[in-house]
Structure 1
Amino acid sequence: MLPAVDKYICSFQRWLPGPLAYIAGPEHLKTIKLFATWHARPRLRERADRRHITPSIRRFAAEQIKYATTFLRWLSARHATLSSCGQLDIDAWFAENAEHVRTCLRALLNWARRSRRCRRSLSVPTMKIFKRPALSEGERLAALGRLLSGTDTPTGSSLHPTVKIKGAAGGDRLEQGLEPGGRVLVGPGPPPAVQGGGRGKPGADCA
């Protein structure tokens, strides 16, 4: 019985000849073929052995091939090759491109260093991880106001113009309303009135 093959690995293998056909230089084509054979496909197989490959993993493998090809063309425009590029080339590429593009290219550079296809002394900048600070109380209220006013709400949804929300401390409540101009007001509000004055038999107000 033949071993099972992940559908996303098959998808990647069917996709690969397409971009390879558009690589003009023979050296570039050779490099990308080797990179796909000895890095991209083995990584997909390793992932498939550990857990299922997701569409995003398959897409990321394709983007590694795409930006590796773009990088080789970029080097050619600078009269350089993968084997001759220096630290100034690497730094210039990373300075010109967004973090996602940098992340996609790191695989090629690390593979090239290990396989001695570029200078092993090259330093590949590490990925930057950005942590957003926690929202302040004012920012939370502003975001809540945008949501309740419909600014951040999908088209077709509707919200009542006045909404009362339980506060975080002391049982206080926040009252949100809309001014005639559409501006959102969020602030302290009175506690909700109890129908029937709180007296009477349970369920009397529901009759």
Structure 2
Amino acid sequence: MPAPRKYTSDPSRWPACVRCGSCHPASQQWPEGTVCFYCVRAARNCLGTCAAFGHTGILPGLDPQGRHVCIRCCDVPIEVQCKRCGEENLANDNNVCWRCLLSDRINKLLVGPDDAIPEGLQPLAQAIIGMPRPNSGWAWIHMNQRVPDLLRGLASGDIPLSHEAFDSLPRSRTVEYLRGLLVTHGCLPWRDEHLVAYDRWLAPKIDAITDAEQRKLVDRYTRWHVMRCLRGSSRQGPVTANSFLRAKQHTTLAIQFLHWLADRGRQLNECTQHDVDAWFGGGTSTRGHANNFLYWAIKQRLVRKIAVPWQPHGNGPLASEKDYIEALRALLLHESLPAAHRAIGIMLVLFGQPVSKIVTMRMDAFREGQDGLQVRFGKDWTDVPEPAAAVIRVHLASRPGLSTAANPDSPLAFPGRMPSRTMHVYSVATILRESDIPAMATRSRAWMQMARQAPPSVLADALGISPKTAMRYAERAGTDYLAYATLRWPTGVDEG
């Protein structure tokens, strides 16, 4: 969408532009006729490949067919080369390219007390100056006053180059974005932000517990069980959003259970089977998440002679076959939904993959095979049928966010807006749901369809889930694979 214009069209004062047809000031006479100031600026900032000559650069001219052509193929009287560096690139009205302007700005902001950019910040400076669209970097710094303040603080040493220093700053998206840039380019070491977020969330929760014995129990449970599980997960890869939220839920329900037990006049070591049954039977289904704390308490011998009621695994919502087909048709033909969300939705609908897993996929999970595009969720490569494969190819060829310093060479198939992070799972699920593609219901229908066509263990290997989960969908589909050969149980596979 073109930028709003300061002046309205006035035929009584200015001649009509041969390009846009409007009457604006500061017009110029080109061989093709009168061209207004706004179209001159648009011509200077038209970057692409010449339709006639094949040259890649600024395309100020138009051929008789209305196609954009380079300065060599037209008589447009403008200078397309930066008067500072001589490169043919996007420039401001003074004909200085945005990379030169951005370089000047960064070299000024990041200069240290010794009149040089500190060694630890040089990779950041090079990444910002070298970003594919330097005008985006200029706008980021110019439009957000917090950015130059933070860069000056890093250069002067007022903000030490450490995670602890960033943690002490007022939390904001700008602070986290800059931290992400520093991590991406090696200025700061990587850390699992979900681990840190849980620890930050936990501290006030424990401090708010007034009973000293309860506070001690919750601290012990979270430190030696919940955090230990999260750290173990972090060794296999970044902690997922689902694991982070599950840890918070387990902690919250543990605190609630201890409060509830205290209201009944009992400490944890006095808990009876009657108390446990009353807890699980007297409230909402979310009380079931207290089972994690109770299993830990039993293992630690903090409570005896109780059995935690078995919590059945709910089947969840199921889309009708009509809704399933409509969802697939919408993803293939949608005109306004971004290609990234269409690609995620297609893998959800065709292969029953959870959104949380799809957004973490890397580029090496896709390849062109003999019969077309293939994707790998588990051990085996799986063919993607057309035209679904075409939608995924469009996304992979133009992944968003790669024109900034945040994700210049990202291996992620679905990079997010924050540096080195994936698209947010809940944001994606919300957008799909608003497009009438409910993730859980559609995924369940996809598995119902696949379970009728292949044995559970085959699906488990191909699509990267546990055989137990595959069997559950087969049972729900009413297939005759229940007598299938003994399932293998690979280690480290999530049962979801």
TM-score by length of 1: 0.60
- 1:52 is matched with which residue? 238
Please give the alpha-carbon distance, in whole angstroms, between the structure 1 residues aligned to 2:251 and 2:243: 13
- 2:313 is matched with which residue? 129
Please give the alpha-carbon distance, in whole angstroms, between the structure 2 residues aligned to 1:112 and 1:60: 18
- 1:87 is matched with which residue? 273
Q: Give the ranges of 4+ consecutive aligned residues of structure 1 lying more than 4 Å apart after TM superposition.
A: 132-137
SS at the partner of 1:48? helix
TM-superposed CA distance for 1:81, in Å, is: 1.3
Select the residue among 247, 258, 261 that pairs with 1:75. Answer: 261
Is residue 98 of structure 1 aligned with residue 284 of structure 2?
yes
Higher relative contact order (CA 8 A, sep 6+): 1
Per-residue CA deviations over 1:23-45 (Å, capped at 9, x if unaligned) read: 01000000000001111100101
Select the residue among 118, 121, 139 that pairs with 2:303. Answer: 118
Please give the alpha-carbon distance, in whole angstroms, between the structure 1 residues aligned to 2:316 and 2:231: 34
Please give the alpha-carbon distance, in whole angstroms, between the structure 2 residues aligned to 1:30 and 1:133: 40
Select the residue among 193, 203, 216 that pairs with 1:7. Answer: 193
Select the residue among 206, 225, 231 that pairs with 1:39. Answer: 225
Please give the alpha-carbon distance, in whole angstroms, between the structure 2 residues aligned to 1:114 and 1:89: 18
Contact 2:198 2:248 in 1 (8 A): yes
- 2:152 is matched with which residue? none
- 1:107 is matched with which residue? 292
Contact 1:99 1:127 in 2 (8 A): no
Q: Structure 2 stretches of 5 or more lacking a match?
A: 1-187, 327-432, 436-496
Identity of aligned residues (%): 28
Please give the alpha-carbon distance, in whole angstroms, between the structure 2 residues aligned to 1:18 and 1:135: 41
TM-score by length of 2: 0.26
- 1:174 is matched with which residue? none
Q: Structure 1 stretches of 5 or more lacking a match?
A: 145-152, 156-207
TM-superposed CA distance for 1:3, in Å, is: 7.7
Aligned alpha-carbon RMSD (Å) = 2.7
Please give the alpha-carbon distance, in whole angstroms, between the structure 2 residues aligned to 1:29 and 1:23: 6
Contact 1:106 1:124 in 2 (8 A): yes
SS at the partner of 1:16? helix
SS at the partner of 2:222? helix
How many residue pairs end up in the alignment? 140
SS at the partner of 2:268? coil
Q: Partner letter of residue 220 of structure 2?
A: L
Contact 1:36 1:65 in 2 (8 A): yes
Contact 1:75 1:82 in 2 (8 A): yes
TM-superposed CA distance for 1:97, in Å, is: 2.7
